[in-house]
Structure 1
Amino acid sequence: MSNFIPLVNIRSVYNFQESLIKIDDYISFAKKEKLEYLFYCENKTMFGVAEFFKKASSQNIKPIIGLSIELENKKIITLIPKNKKSYQDVCFISSEMNNDFILSELQILELLQSKLDQNMIVITNLTEEHQIYFNTAEIYNTNSVNFFFNNIRYISNNEQEHYKGVFALKNGLNITQANEAYKIDESYPLAEDILEIYPETLKISNEISEKVNLNIFDSEEKHMAKFTAPDNIPSFSYLKQKCLNGLKHYFINVKRQPVSQKYYERLNKELEIIEQTGFADYFLIVHDYVAYARRNDIIVGPGRGSAAGSLVSFLLRITTVDPIEYNLLFERFLNPERVTMPDIDIDFQDNRRDEVIEYLFEKYGKYNVATIVTYQTIAFKSAFRDACRVYEIDLEIVNLITKSLNEDYLDFTDILKTQRLIKEYSEKEEFKAIFSLTNKLMGCPRQTGTHAAGIIISDVDLRKVLPIRQGLNGIYQTQFDMNYLEDIGLIKMDLLGLRNLTTLKEIIDLVKINHNKEIKLSQIDVNDQKTFDILKQGNTTGIFQLESPGMTNLIIDMKVNSISDISAASSLYRPGPQEMIPEYINNKNTKRVSLVDKSLADILLPTYGVIVYQEQVIQILQKVAGFSLAKSDIVRRAMGKKQIAYMLQVKEEFIANAIINNYSEDKATSIWNWIEKFAMYGFNKSHAIAYSYIGYWLAWFKAHYPAEFYTALLNGAMGNPNKTSKYIKEVKQFGIEVIKPSVKYMNDNYIILNNRIFMPLTLIKGIGRDFVNSLIKIYDEHEDLFEELNTFFYYMKNKGLNESNYTLLAKAGGFDCFGYNKLTMVLNRDFIFSAMIAFNENLSLDKQTKIENLFVEEMNEEIESMYEKEVFGFYISANPITKLKNENAYFKPIDILKLVGNMNNINIIGQVSSIKIIKDKNKKDMAFITVFDETDTIDLTIFASNFETMQYDILTNKNYIFNIKTQTYKNKITGILEKIVKPI
């Protein structure tokens, strides 16, 4: 017999901050102790049930799941389902207990009474008078059989101190207080200890195990919602009908020619696979909510992922990219030889995505639609801060350690290997308990979140399939995360919010307002030379996927002139394929292409002899070896995942087939080796082409409607001073004037009037929408509000204008409309407020003492710059760095925006915005600083050898000429500070 007995009363880390037991540790413990079965029961929730069930089963341990309900005064009811029917009842009960209202004890008992029967085991310490609520359920009363019933919250005794730390966190205590308050041993007890006190425990545990016959993953049933077609036409018939109608419409109204036989053949092939796999409803459901979005003027993306390779998706207007025109493959999306659930991800403008989800909620029912839970796992920084809070460690030390990390860690071992400072602290005696607790906390879920895109739509009440809980906006959420949904027959549909689509929608609306033109994305000319000209010039700011410095340089070097060029650029500019960029550019620009074999010209010439896409690998496998496209996709996947055994087997078949197809063995071998090298780097062409349209559309609007384009960009950049500064500087290059905020315009967003962009009042630090709304309300009551200075301040008395926001408005130019400059308005603040206090509200405006004879002071550029930096966080009209560059042209400073990797001994002129000092591996101070000029920002590293001599010379908010060398890290240009040329 094992030293331990499986016990019912387990709590896991999914009861947040109430346990230290992670499921992996629990199962490892059971495996080590050779336990044949395990119990798992959270309190009220079932978050970890699916994970536990799958992992226990994989280790040949019988999982016995349930639900505990802890009432007041240590009363507990634990439900153990014997079979699928009672499992559904437990899911229902947990769902009801995780609604947005709290059930009383009586309501809980009545809920149980409505659901429990002989299929359920109930373990409880409630008295016999309550047993009427359990109906015919099989009851084990712990009071009468002395069944062991302490909750277990950690596995071994030596974890009690760790649990005290968790207990302290949960209850807002320090470790001393926790030691005083927590006296219970809740570790997993030894079998001999249990049997000595409670001799019936093993017998009852075995008895319960024998009665449970449940596998929550054993059903092959798919719970996909059914689409109701008009007149109850069968789903597939309706799908086919819509596709044929869509095909005819496409050729008659877009291509303006008879339908091509090639399209009929492709459509028939796709429909045949869809019918075989039974996914007609899936396509129709997606089509329906995409159509809803389009009907309601919600921008939908052109396509995402491999779904853009489907002609059916295109004809249903789920996607808007013709897959035949771009040689995209359906098998990359839905493979008949490797049937998996379809995965059509759709992008919507992010500010209206919720409307589409609401539509689904209303159409399919509140218990048939759910978002998907996620669990926010505790990483090092958060765990360390929590542990330090419990042990009351000085915040300066906490900040020193956490700020020494450029990224967070999920694995404690990795930290000790790479972070010298943390390793040193972890070895100090006074910190050992803290780091020990930190290690225990890492990896535990802290709280729930919501999957950014996933939605479940079921044909049955979800509570019959899994437990759910109340989510946001009245929409339910699964208690199981996405990793286990497909295993219980649920299909995840991804509805993503994309900010760039919102930007496009705003631009389209602005063009309609300002130019009275209705622009449809589908009708934009994809061969517009003006658009490609701005891209070739590197004017990529604000263009989706193209605006990073490295990507911009690639766009320039490639001389992009088509959607396909944009697609290739975004596909190549990734780790791995980047090494092929020089060859690609050289081949494209010289038109000299060397092919691995001439027979592959049709496949490789469009990308100048370089494999850029996964689809090309699939096509080569088909061309040379005669594999079906479906099999070719399976081989490509195996290459990408380095499935050696399968690849060796297929390689022989490939070469044998190639020889039959008139390739020599050497040639076939060289082709195989060549494509094998590229298979793991190739990108999904369907996705690349579809997303290239988004970038192209934005570039088209930038070329043709720059004022509207930049207004939308600026509205999207609210709260980001770096982007805002950059956009404002650029928009002026288009001859568009940017007007500073004014109380007269009362706008809380950027607006356009007569080709001028007006900045919002809310861009001023400290001015919020409440003040703007107050202005609007007063203007509605007094249309003469802005006639002159006296009128404004008379009406604004006691209406939200105070000395603090007055100063901000004055410095920002908010009062310039009254004919006085910023400095004058700032210096006369006290005088104006004295006059406001003197206003007699019982007298009309014309009888008031006027505010006049203001003390007038001249403005200069230096004051203007200082005010702008203070109230906006950036410079607008008078950037002193531009002036400094002109004055110090001798040093040949380079704009930060124009920096690329591997530049040595170059000068930049900029202002230091932040300094972060850390210890290096030798315990010496080094620093990271952020520097900006009027074009961009850059992060610079100062190594200890330099920092020792210059640390007192570098200050924030000061300007310098720096000598640096640049490097590229994670596609971002960073630098190393070599020396201070001079402060300026």
Structure 2
Amino acid sequence: MSGFVHLHNHSDYSLLDGACRIGDYVKKASRLGMQHLGLTDHGNLFGALYFEQECHKAGINPVVGCEVYIANGSRFERSSKLPRSYHMVLYARNVEGYKNLMILSSKSYTEGFYYKPRIDDELLEKYHGGLMASTACLSGEIPKAILDEDWNKARNKSVYYSELFGEDNFYLEIMNHGILEEKTVRTGMRKISKETGIPIIATNDIHFLEREHANAHDVLICISTGKKRSDEKRLKTENPEFYFKSEEEMRRLFPDFQDAIENTVKLAMRCDLTIPRLEHRLPSYEIPKSFANSQSYLRHLTLEGLNKRYHEVDVEQRKSIHKRAEFELSVLSDMSYVDYFLIVWDFIDWACRHGIPVGPGRGSGAGSLVAYALRITDIDPLKYDLLFERFLNPERVNMPDFDIDFCYERRNEVIEYVHEKYGHENVAGICSFGTLRTKAVLKDVARVLDIPFSESNAITKLVPEGKIFDGREIDMKLALEMEPRLKEFYKKGGVYKELFEVAEILEGMNRHVSTHACGKVIGRGPLTDYVPLIKDQKTGDVITAYTMDVIETCGLVKMDFLGLKTLTLLKNCETLIRKLNPKFDIDKLPEDDAATFKMLGDGKSEAVFQFESQGMQKVLRDAKPMNIEELIALNALYRPGPMQYIPKYIESKYNRRKIQYPHPDLKEILQQTYGVIIYQEQVMKVAQTIGGFSLGKADILRQAMGKKKEKEMARMEREFIEGAENKGYDSKLAKDIYDMLKPFAGYGFNKSHAAAYSVIAYKTAFCKANHPAEFWAANLTNEINSTDALREYLAYAKNEGVKILPPDINLSEKYFTVDEGRIIYGLTGIKGMGQGAAEAITEARKFKGDFTGFLDFLKKVDLKALNRKVLEISLQAGLFDNIEQKNRATLLHNLDRALDISCRRKNDEASGQISLFTESETAIEFQWEEVDGWTESHLLRLEKEHLGLYVSGHPLDPYRSVWEKTTNMSIQEIKFCTNKKTHSVLGILKSVRTVLTHKGDNIAFAILEDFDNTVELAVFNKAYRKFGHLLTEGNIVLIRGKVDLSRGNPQIRVDEILEPRTLTKTQQRGNKALMSSKKGINKMRGEAEAVTFRIHIELVDAAHSEKELITLRTLLQDKNGSGQLYLHVSENGAKSVVKASNRFSFAVDDIDDIRKHHSVAAVWKETL
């Protein structure tokens, strides 16, 4: 049995200070034979619950503590003149002490935070019960007094705390890290101990696990302080003694204090804490007095809701509906979740009554009929065959979990309502931790070690993304195994070897604490009865100090209040459509709209919720969904795992004779998905039908299969086969079906969630298909702060024939609007035009009429809301073009004088002075100084600067013919091309950045922008030496280079840069080289008219023999016109896009003929 205990230890929850994980502390303590272990992180209890759990698993007694900061005075005082806070270590002896520790820690954040979370003596006097304490490190109050030779203070404070905490509950703490001041403190502590009888403990202030981790800890401190290791004036922590030492090492450090070593065990043995695990403690919902209890009130609300939802059903259907509702109500009552449902119903009902859009459902909650009756969800579980047991299993205690989507702009109103209703002390957010993940820790450590950014960036880009095939997440060790180029850096030795070694030690440690994006907890009483709290210093929000994965064990139920931008989009879209059709209701759309499904079947799903990706567009073109059920299936299938079954699903849809059911009894379950198991609910129903499982037991089976719990799966397999035999099924058939379920249980998706989100998707698709101008205007408003999204959506809208009007001072509203099918640019879409300025303009126009000119504008608008910069931006962006004969340059040149006169006139009016001029005379009075107008290129540059995109034209417009002749794809199409192949693109250079490598070579990175999109360029030394002089922002250039798709976002590694004036000389050479990838097709010639549409033909993989291409070419002959042809080619899994060199025209019949060709996988048309 060990005669020493480490009591003063800091884990990585002492953020960017402690350099050791809790689990590693526990393992080492166990290895060294220690029966007790302490955790005392700086000012918080983040790791307390996890520490207690890990200690109990290892058979170690946990000593849960905290190194608190004690204010030098009142915790409420905040002044830079105050002396720094003192340190003190507190330990929880029992549950009472743990609760007081939670209160103290919480109040240090909510009441005492000033640079650090602080408590004071007043709080200690109130909440000291069940606690033990020690004097801490050199920053403790008593050690400081000893170092200041203030013996009276040192002795008196020691006696004060000893009397406060009680006999044997307060200890004098000594340390020996080789620091001179510690020796003085040790001598002083012995003196005080002899005089007062207060015992001494010896500790080591552990911050890292092993002695050799000292360097990693020093680097961690540099990360925390933002310094480099080479900085002379930085905080240095190179002392290697703050590691986890053995008892023998500690005894050698304190030869004259062996009693202090043994006292650590005495202190630890007095701590007997098991943190209570509680059943959920939701508040009791306050029901109307006319109801006996919450169960009767929920039943009343349910029946009332069912009558509204199903008022047209017949008697038999009504009986069936009520039977299921009564079953759900009984489960909710038995599991004590009635109040949970009422609480959720209440805040959703409040949101709906206040016009806040609420989602139709999310997750498994849509499977509840009671939730549907209460309008918690808006998806009919009977219509879509959704299961309550998938949401709440009566055969296993699991917490209900409604994830609720709200309009993201008004979500906080609902959260504030909940705070007000249940009390601010009873409601809080949930904390989460950002960690030093592989790429992040490499970048952080590289910066500290002075490795150039270009090199650290190159290193981190070599780290593979995501997870490998067996689900193991990429970490440092695995990355080095998988990527030889990373290993080459490591083998260089020196600072590179150190980079990987330090990064591997720090990898995965906590970096910062933040607020979970949507999680909230509601307690039956003050939350400090259950968990410690902290305050988010950025937002002021109070949040739990425990993360969402452990708060349920403390008796709290998590509720997710999510903000979904698509709900905001649909609300804005509905508002715009109602200007033409006041009866339009986004929640009452026909579910069989032909235009909607035609658009989806054509793959035109850009900006359609959940269906916008390029891959999903391909699936839509192949599957051609005809109803919402098929949308649900595709939504569920288009995910890693089940994606492999998409071809089978599509093939079975079009050739139903190929569908084979394992048994006729499964046809009813599988026929809607053409024989393919897609949903978890189907797995459950198969287990019920064949194995005789209840749905609750079937859900347990689904989870066991999904999580590959081998023992549980083996046991349930026997039960499944036995149940099947009891129902008359053959045991071999039962075994085959059970084996069939295994992979699908892992891949299968929750139909309830897919159904809810597919309904939202259908609504967005309906708006796009039937009201495109309103749809795109709403999207533009939704993304008004994202330049990239605005540019992309404006391009989509233009491609669909929607006209975009530039901002206009008399037409533009605060956001994007629609007038006669045209989108009018919104004022807040202009960079630098804030909400207040936009509102001032629209308010002035509303109450004083349209503006007749710039001077009239200055007269009518409240100039306090529009500073000079806003006025300058407005002029440069062309807001006054339609009401002013003066050019923009003249208006800007005269701005200061016009503004001065207008301000003086308004001041005169405000002071009651009468102007000598009438309104018309004022205009005459102003003498304009005329200047030459700006060039078109300058106007476009300003438009780009202030709108984030070009509206009235594009700098590349003069080069369209050159672009068509010399490039083989647009930037948008690069993501589909073959990796490492050479391609040619034309555009404008942006964000040019030159970097000097450690070898002294110049390389450059830049962004190339064409009509619609951007791509990153990498210009390495060879190309830089030849073409570096052309790398100027704003230059229009033709780029030739190899496309690198290995890092997610495409990058072109530049081989050649050409200017427009040289393009004609290189055009044919480049075109021939780039178009020769397929015989026959590239030989088509002929000068073409302007492109008005594009035809895309996707070839079946490996269907590219010359013979097959010749037969395809025959279909394309004599089709000259204005369409650009693109061939999408797959070779050995790699994809590329080849653009034909001439133009074509296709009739509908022609496209159908091409689609039927056996080498063609898909054909689609893109109108420009």
TM-score, normalised on structure 2? 0.75
- Match of residue 581 from structure 1: 646
Query: Which whole-Å deviations, capped at 9, do the CAs of 1:137-195 have from their partners, x for residues lacking one?
Result: 64333131332256332334333343334445555665443577876943344232255
Aligned length: 973
- Aligned to 2:208, the other structure's residue is in SS state coil
- Aligned counterparts, 1:516-555, within 5 A: 517=582, 519-555=584-620
- Match of residue 888 from structure 2: 825
- Match of residue 127 from structure 2: 115
Q: Distance in 1 between matches of 2:649 and 2:784?
A: 39
Query: Which whole-Å deviations, capped at 9, do the CAs of 1:622-664 have from their partners, x for residues lacking one?
Result: 2222222222222222222223333334334433443444444
Displacement, 1:694?
A: 0.8
Structure 1 stretch 316-325 or stretch 433-442: which is displaced more? Answer: 433-442
- Match of residue 60 from structure 1: 59
In the alignment, is the contact (CA less than 8 A) between 2:661 and 2:667 conserved in 1?
no
- Match of residue 626 from structure 1: 692
- Match of residue 304 from structure 2: 245
In the alignment, is the contact (CA less than 8 A) between 1:785 and 1:791 conserved in 2?
no
Q: Distance in 1 between matches of 2:559 and 2:212?
A: 45
- Aligned counterparts, 1:428-507, within 5 A: 428-431=493-496, 433=498, 435-471=500-536, 475-507=541-573
Query: Which whole-Å deviations, capped at 9, do the CAs of 1:320-360 have from their partners, x for residues lacking one?
Result: 11111111111111122222111121111111111222122
1:709 aligned to which of 775, 783, 793: 775
Structure 1 stretch 684-693 or stretch 288-297: which is displaced more? Answer: 288-297
- Asked if 1:875 is matched to 2:950, the reply is yes
Structure 1 stretch 279-288 or stretch 219-228: which is displaced more? Answer: 219-228
In the alignment, is the contact (CA less than 8 A) between 1:82 and 1:120 conserved in 2?
yes
CA distance 1:954–1:533, shift in 2 (3 Å): farther
Query: Which whole-Å deviations, capped at 9, do the CAs of 1:803-855 have from their partners, x for residues lacking one?
Result: 9766654442223134447xx42377446657777999587573665444735
Displacement, 1:205?
A: 2.0
Displacement, 1:947?
A: 10
Q: Distance in 1 between matches of 2:974 and 2:497?
A: 45
Q: Distance in 2 between matches of 1:108 and 1:722?
A: 51
Structure 1 stretch 186-195 or stretch 229-238: which is displaced more? Answer: 186-195
Displacement, 1:314?
A: 1.0
Match of 2:309, as an amino acid?
Y
Displacement, 1:869?
A: 3.5
Q: Distance in 1 between matches of 2:162 and 2:441?
A: 46
In the alignment, is the contact (CA less than 8 A) between 1:167 and 1:178 conserved in 2?
no
Displacement, 1:450?
A: 0.8
- Match of residue 854 from structure 1: 930
- Aligned to 1:524, the other structure's residue is in SS state coil
1:152 aligned to which of 186, 193, 206: 206
The root-mean-square deviation of aligned C-alpha atoms, in Å, is 4.2
In the alignment, is the contact (CA less than 8 A) between 1:116 and 1:136 conserved in 2?
no
Displacement, 1:780?
A: 9.5
Match of 1:335, as an amino acid?
N
- Match of residue 717 from structure 2: 651
- Asked if 1:84 is matched to 2:92, the reply is no
Q: Distance in 2 between matches of 1:106 and 1:636?
A: 49
- Match of residue 242 from structure 2: 186
2:164 aligned to which of 134, 151, 169: 134
Match of 1:12, as an amino acid?
S
- Match of residue 657 from structure 2: 592
Match of 2:783, as an amino acid?
A
CA distance 1:639–1:956, shift in 2 (3 Å): farther
CA distance 1:980–1:331, shift in 2 (3 Å): farther
2:233 aligned to which of 165, 172, 177: 177
1:416 aligned to which of 474, 480, 493: 480
In the alignment, is the contact (CA less than 8 A) between 1:222 and 1:489 conserved in 2?
yes
2:621 aligned to which of 552, 556, 564: 556
- Asked if 1:209 is matched to 2:268, the reply is yes
Match of 2:242, as an amino acid?
E
Match of 2:657, as an amino acid?
R
2:283 aligned to which of 206, 219, 225: 225
Match of 2:510, as an amino acid?
P
- Aligned to 1:878, the other structure's residue is in SS state coil
Query: Which whole-Å deviations, capped at 9, do the CAs of 1:846-901 have from their partners, x for residues lacking one?
Result: 366544473565965x6655444444333323245566555565679555656784
Match of 1:139, as an amino acid?
N
CA distance 1:892–1:437, shift in 2 (3 Å): closer
- Aligned to 2:596, the other structure's residue is in SS state helix
Structure 1 stretch 972-981 or stretch 350-359: which is displaced more? Answer: 972-981
Displacement, 1:691?
A: 0.8
Query: Which whole-Å deviations, capped at 9, do the CAs of 1:732-788 have from their partners, x for residues lacking one?
Result: 46665422123445744223445443213443444445654675798799x589433
Displacement, 1:497?
A: 1.2
Q: Which runs of 5+ in 1 are unaligned?
A: none
Match of 2:477, as an amino acid?
T
Structure number, greater radius of gyration: 2
Q: Which runs of 5+ in 2 are unaligned?
A: 73-83, 136-141, 143-153, 173-188, 194-198, 467-472, 906-915, 1061-1168
CA distance 1:900–1:94, shift in 2 (3 Å): closer
Displacement, 1:545?
A: 0.4
Q: Distance in 2 between matches of 1:105 and 1:315?
A: 47
Query: Which whole-Å deviations, capped at 9, do the CAs of 1:923-959 have from their partners, x for residues lacking one?
Result: 9999998655445556789999999998888887555
Query: Which whole-Å deviations, capped at 9, do the CAs of 1:1-47 have from their partners, x for residues lacking one?
Result: 55x83232222222223322321221222122121110112233111
Q: Distance in 2 between matches of 1:807 and 1:23?
A: 57
CA distance 1:572–1:179, shift in 2 (3 Å): closer
2:676 aligned to which of 597, 607, 610: 610
In the alignment, is the contact (CA less than 8 A) between 2:112 and 2:119 conserved in 1?
no
- Match of residue 14 from structure 1: 13
- Match of residue 37 from structure 1: 36
Q: Distance in 2 between matches of 1:54 and 1:917?
A: 52
In the alignment, is the contact (CA less than 8 A) between 2:967 and 2:985 conserved in 1?
no
- Larger relative CO (CA 8 A, sep 6+): 1 or 2? 1
Q: Distance in 2 between matches of 1:446 and 1:856?
A: 56
- Match of residue 788 from structure 1: 853
- Aligned to 2:40, the other structure's residue is in SS state strand
Displacement, 1:573?
A: 1.1
Q: Distance in 2 between matches of 1:934 and 1:487?
A: 55
In the alignment, is the contact (CA less than 8 A) between 2:812 and 2:825 conserved in 1?
no
- Aligned counterparts, 1:742-891, within 5 A: 742-744=808-810, 747-769=813-835, 772=838, 783=848, 786-791=851-856, 808-820=873-885, 824-826=887-889, 829-830=892-893, 841=904, 844=917, 846=921, 849-852=925-928, 854-855=930-931, 865-879=940-954, 884-886=959-961, 889=964
Query: Which whole-Å deviations, capped at 9, do the CAs of 1:678-702 have from their partners, x for residues lacking one?
Result: 2221111111011111111122222
Q: Distance in 2 between matches of 1:153 and 1:584?
A: 56
- Match of residue 723 from structure 1: 789
Displacement, 1:570?
A: 1.0
Structure 1 stretch 940-949 or stretch 811-820: which is displaced more? Answer: 940-949
Identity of aligned residues (%): 28
In the alignment, is the contact (CA less than 8 A) between 1:893 and 1:906 conserved in 2?
no
- Match of residue 178 from structure 2: none
In the alignment, is the contact (CA less than 8 A) between 1:56 and 1:63 conserved in 2?
yes
CA distance 1:100–1:424, shift in 2 (3 Å): farther
In the alignment, is the contact (CA less than 8 A) between 1:903 and 1:965 conserved in 2?
no
In the alignment, is the contact (CA less than 8 A) between 1:366 and 1:475 conserved in 2?
no
Query: Which whole-Å deviations, capped at 9, do the CAs of 1:568-606 have from their partners, x for residues lacking one?
Result: 111111122222212211222334342233321111110
